[in-house]
Structure 1
Amino acid sequence: MTYFLGIDIGGTVIKSGLYDAEGHEKAVASEVDNGVAAHVGWSERDMNAMWRIVAGTIRRVVAEAGVSADEIAGISFSAHGKGLYALDADGEPVRNGIISSDNRSLSIVKDWKAKGLDAASYPYGYQQLWTGHPVSLLAWMKANEPDNYRRTRHVLMAHDFIRYKLTGVFAAEVTNISGSNLYNVEKGAYDPALFRMFGIDEMEGCLPPVVGSEERVAGLSAKAAEETGLKAGTPVFGGFFDVVSAAVCAGLADPSFVNVVMGTWTIVTWTTDRILKPQGDNWPYIWGRYCMPDRYFVHEGSPTSAGNLEWFVRTFLGGMSDCYRQADLMISALPKAGTGIQFLPYLFASNLGDDLTAGLHGLANAHGLGQVLQAVYEGICFSQHVHLERIVKLSGRDKTLRLTGGPTRSKPWMQMVADISEMPVEVMHVEQSGCLGAAIAAAVGSGVHKGFKEAMAAMCPSGALIEPDAGSFPAYREKYAAFRRLADTLSTLPAGR
């Protein structure tokens, strides 16, 4: 039997999964990678500890699956985007790795925006300026850790570092590095103009060659084989940015579908054959190179999704058995958009104003737990709809949404998404989109499937279609408009965090 090893490198959890050529999961092993937060707003990890965790999960998943190393035909990755994993001339970490949720460069990013650098750089990198970008973190390191900056010889992202540990070869995977603000997305290459704009010219020679998601980088080294228990020479492939991995697992092989991921973050992704620049639309859409030839992906996202519900349930329903099923039953019994209660799902951040915080508005003594829960579900969907509206401006409305993530288990919630978006929804039950997506990349790279379209058809699960309820459209349109008015009004007030 032939298997493919998919390694999922998240910001806090690392997983390794084994899959066959039809996408059947053989086993998954995971371990928490406890981060380091030396200061408020910092988010780091010990890179050597991270490698040990990866090696440990590989050993465990192979043992749990009961397969031999000879049966593993390829290895690939899915990893969090952005961040900074810097190595010195000897290939050793210069400092702790920095995860994309890190906020230390906020003052630098604000200064760049004040100087108009966001608009100046956008036609090159097609990114919004963000504190977690490698470019922002390198600028911070240059200003605050000049010795570490001078020692840096290799600028990597998370999966690039683990791939180096497995092979001894430096490479930057295209779907992730194209979102670094160091890469010209249209030209398909690093751009010296971006290094100059951001004042990090010295780093221009520190970026490794760019490889495709399915491209074979090297065989597993003898040293890594000893540490992981795998066979030396096993092919190791490029991998994915986790947003692209989710899109691949949702079967985004053509522009007919839009992927919506619902987790701690809500992420909306669409793919096309060119970067679109609608006349009169000045929104800075975030673009990157997709895993398929001559294709791009555009995505929108914010941490305004299911993490908010998890907090509500943990805080207020901790004693209720089977609480998520009970919540679904309560919501199903209520008229759609039946109250004026609004929930702003901004416990972690907002996508409608930097200073907006979470809250409930419009409560009255006649309201009970069911109505409040309904408002929480609606608020998360409304926030998601903000992103979807922007993407639909590019894609058009004649699309089907393909939803992945934990909330897909909730039928009333999925119906709510269909009703608010006024678009058909295909619910894709994918438990491990990072590991499965990575395994798909390895299967394509190994030649078992001739391209990603064939691999998606063979390895991705089928979806269950949910049609929108046209009768609910007027009520949801009115309530969504009220949600936007409330957010706009509150965004004018001083920060309440």
Structure 2
Amino acid sequence: MKTDIFIGIDMGSTGLKAVAFESESGRSLATAGDALVHRRSSGGACELTTDDIRDALMQALRSLGDQLGEHTARIGAICCTGHGAGLYALDEHGELLRGLAVASTDQRAAALAARIGKDHGAALYDEVGCEPWSGQPSLVMAELIARGELDAGKIRHLVFAKDYLAWLLTGTLATDASDVSTAGLLSLASGRSSELAFDVVGLPGLRGALPELTPSGTQIGRLTPAAAALTGLPAGTPVAMGAIDLLASLHAVGGAAQGQAVAVLGTWCVNAVIAPTRETQPRVAAIMRFGPADQRLYMENSPSSMANVAWLARTLRFPSAAAVVECAMTVPLGADGLRFAPFINGGGSPPHATAGFIGLSSHHDRAHMARAVIDAVLTRHAVHLRHLAACRLGEPGRVAALGGGARDVRMVQLLASLLGHPVQRCGDDETGARGAAIYAAQSQGAPADTLAARCSTIEPDHLDGGAHADFFASHGELMQQLAPAFAHPHKARP
């Protein structure tokens, strides 16, 4: 029987999903997954337990196998992708230390990131492509060790979300350049792990905890009998090295070949484009080396996207993020004068930014609040995308919207209106999982364009004239004017 089904597993910041794709048609044959439960605290912790990750992975694959039935024999390979950074520190037995993984939205190392950034930020940007931020594995490790919550002597392996999933499936520890680079641990010049990144946090000995880098789309192992028993999938199924979810999504929509930027409307506000390496690095939020020496992934990111919508859903007891969007769209752009600072997980600019409503009046209700949040989230994406364009990165006017927020056409049209040009929408597709499945197919010799995603074109709303341009300008001006207010509570912290 032919092996023409490839499985992509995507562990995002909020959930884990597995999708089985048929290579000939490109369509998804089965989908499974669920939300991940995070442990949060007022001190900024955001963690996941070993059991929750393992159970989510195995249950998703078992459900996939049940849906495929006898067609599981057609599975050619599996590949994982996932959110970047955070902390997946393993002991000598390959178990997560403390039985916990740390998500990239964890804020406990924020003060440490600020201190290191003040002394070494410029040097780190030149070396690894980004300045310090709280969710980096090196900073999370240093912070937890300083607090006495983590024993540095027990750390044997340092991997990332997708690598931990692959370890559970194969018993093989491996990683790739995209995750190491996104985490700020890879030298852009040499393509090897950076001594400086570990030295500045006082953990030079842990540089060796990173596995050797393996190219994405390379077979790294096979499904173990134990994992096969838990999932119902055939033992010995090949498992391939993936990439960070952003790169996997770009891979799925052909971003490298088309030179288009992508906006990922997910937990983080992620905006990126693959472009040729430059002798003088453009000043963007981060630069990532993912493989070819002549290409880089240029990113404009901040923790200011759909996490704000998820927060509002929890706080005002909407049944889902989709319900927030539905309610928001009953109110016009601008929410009748209500504005929102979309920094529920912090933000890079303005410095020390936090979330909040501005202009709240007695006539505003939760629909206005929902609209203010949606307006702000899409405006931040537009800010980042415009900056990439101003740096001459990517083809002018070529942007694709991905992620959970892009499932709603109105969200993508709002982004197009704020940008002033059409946007490609791939919101109905699990592009992260599809990109992982493409790597799985490549590991078995399939061509690079196998399983490519299909997108539709969303035009801006031209009926409002200059309303969107005016809103974009005024919202940006307001955020900058709030900089002293953001700094005030930061200075007052003990």
Tell me the residue number matched to 1:6.
8
Q: Spell out, residue by residue over 1:261-310, the C-alpha distance to the aligned partner (whole angstroms, 9 max, x if none).
A: 113332111001214636xx6x4531113467843211222333344445
Tell me the residue number matched to 1:490.
482
Tell me the residue number matched to 1:253.
256
SS of the residue aligned with 1:236? strand
Tell me the residue number matched to 1:118.
121
Q: Aligned pair in 2 of structure 1 residues 256, 219: CA closer, same or farther (>3 Å)?
A: same
SS of the residue aligned with 2:457? strand
**Counterpart Cα distance in 2 of 1:238 and 1:223:** 20
Tell me the residue number matched to 1:189.
192
SS of the residue aligned with 1:211? coil
Percent identical across equivalent pairs?
25
Q: Aligned pair in 2 of structure 1 residues 342, 145: CA closer, same or farther (>3 Å)?
A: closer
SS of the residue aligned with 2:301? strand
Q: Shift in Å at residue 150 of structure 1?
A: 0.7
Q: Aligned pair in 2 of structure 1 residues 410, 88: CA closer, same or farther (>3 Å)?
A: closer
Q: Shift in Å at residue 74 of structure 1?
A: 0.4
Match for 1:277 among 258, 277, 280? 280
Tell me the residue number matched to 1:154.
157
Tell me the residue number matched to 1:417.
415
> What is the identity, as a one-letter code, of the residue corresponding to 1:425?
V
Q: Which moved more, 1:405-414 or 1:94-103?
A: 405-414
> What is the identity, as a one-letter code, of the residue corresponding to 1:17?
V
Q: Aligned pair in 2 of structure 1 residues 310, 224: CA closer, same or farther (>3 Å)?
A: closer
Tell me the residue number matched to 1:358.
355
Tell me the residue number matched to 2:105.
101
Is the 8 Å Cα contact of residues 88 and 159 (structure 2) preserved in structure 1?
yes
Is residue 457 of structure 2 the alignment partner of residue 464 of structure 1? yes
Tell me the residue number matched to 2:300.
300
Q: Spell out, residue by residue over 1:80-116, the C-alpha distance to the aligned partner (whole angstroms, 9 max, x if none).
A: 10112122223333322222122222232222123x2
Q: Aligned pair in 2 of structure 1 residues 38, 367: CA closer, same or farther (>3 Å)?
A: closer
Is the 8 Å Cα contact of residues 286 and 298 (structure 1) preserved in structure 2?
yes
Tell me the residue number matched to 1:222.
225
> What is the identity, as a one-letter code, of the residue corresponding to 1:461?
R
Q: Spell out, residue by residue over 1:429-483, the C-alpha distance to the aligned partner (whole angstroms, 9 max, x if none).
A: 33423322211211122222x22xx23xx431232242573x8564433332322
SS of the residue aligned with 2:202? coil
Q: Shift in Å at residue 341 of structure 1?
A: 4.4
Match for 1:378 among 354, 375, 379? 375
Where do 5+ consecutive residues of structure 1 fail to align? none
SS of the residue aligned with 2:424? strand
Q: Aligned pair in 2 of structure 1 residues 362, 141: CA closer, same or farther (>3 Å)?
A: closer
> What is the identity, as a one-letter code, of the residue corresponding to 1:296?
R
Q: Spell out, residue by residue over 1:148-188, the C-alpha distance to the aligned partner (whole angstroms, 9 max, x if none).
A: 21121111112212212222222112211122222112321
Q: Shift in Å at residue 76 of structure 1?
A: 0.4
Q: Shift in Å at residue 317 of structure 1?
A: 9.1
**Counterpart Cα distance in 2 of 1:222 and 1:363:** 58
Match for 1:81 among 66, 79, 84? 84
Q: Aligned pair in 2 of structure 1 residues 416, 59: CA closer, same or farther (>3 Å)?
A: closer
Q: Aligned pair in 2 of structure 1 residues 135, 369: CA closer, same or farther (>3 Å)?
A: closer
Q: Which moved more, 1:225-234 or 1:210-219?
A: 225-234
**Counterpart Cα distance in 1 of 2:369 and 2:87:** 40
Q: Which moved more, 1:297-306 or 1:366-375?
A: 366-375
Is residue 22 of structure 2 the alignment partner of residue 20 of structure 1? yes
Q: Shift in Å at residue 357 of structure 1?
A: 3.6
CA root-mean-square deviation: 3.2
Q: Which moved more, 1:57-66 or 1:223-232?
A: 223-232
Is the 8 Å Cα contact of residues 274 and 394 (structure 2) preserved in structure 1?
no
Is the 8 Å Cα contact of residues 252 and 434 (structure 2) preserved in structure 1?
yes
Is the 8 Å Cα contact of residues 250 and 404 (structure 1) preserved in structure 2?
no
**Counterpart Cα distance in 1 of 2:394 and 2:424:** 17
Tell me the residue number matched to 1:432.
430
Q: Which moved more, 1:374-383 or 1:72-81?
A: 374-383
What is the count of residue pairs matched by the alignment? Answer: 483
**Counterpart Cα distance in 2 of 1:90 and 1:370:** 51
Tell me the residue number matched to 2:175.
172
Is residue 478 of structure 2 the alignment partner of residue 481 of structure 1? no
Q: Which moved more, 1:209-218 or 1:92-101?
A: 92-101
Q: Aligned pair in 2 of structure 1 residues 317, 466: CA closer, same or farther (>3 Å)?
A: farther
**Counterpart Cα distance in 1 of 2:315 and 2:464:** 31
Is the 8 Å Cα contact of residues 105 and 136 (structure 1) preserved in structure 2?
yes
**Counterpart Cα distance in 2 of 1:72 and 1:38:** 41
Is the 8 Å Cα contact of residues 11 and 99 (structure 1) preserved in structure 2?
yes
SS of the residue aligned with 1:172? coil
Is the 8 Å Cα contact of residues 284 and 300 (structure 2) preserved in structure 1?
no
Q: Which moved more, 1:136-145 or 1:317-326?
A: 317-326
Task: Give the alignment of 1:132-151 within 5 angstroms.
Answer: 132-145=135-148, 148-151=151-154
> What is the identity, as a one-letter code, of the residue corresponding to 1:219?
R
Is the 8 Å Cα contact of residues 429 and 461 (structure 1) preserved in structure 2?
no
Q: Shift in Å at residue 414 of structure 1?
A: 2.8
SS of the residue aligned with 2:300? strand
Q: Shift in Å at residue 239 of structure 1?
A: 0.9
Is the 8 Å Cα contact of residues 263 and 306 (structure 1) preserved in structure 2?
yes
Q: Aligned pair in 2 of structure 1 residues 446, 482: CA closer, same or farther (>3 Å)?
A: same
SS of the residue aligned with 1:380? helix
**Counterpart Cα distance in 2 of 1:124 and 1:319:** 45
**Counterpart Cα distance in 2 of 1:316 and 1:409:** 22
Match for 1:446 among 421, 430, 444? 444
Task: Give the alignment of 1:255-404 within 5 angstroms.
Answer: 256-275=259-278, 277=280, 283-290=283-290, 294-309=294-309, 324-325=325-326, 327-328=328-329, 330=330, 340-362=337-359, 375-394=372-391, 395=393, 398-404=396-402
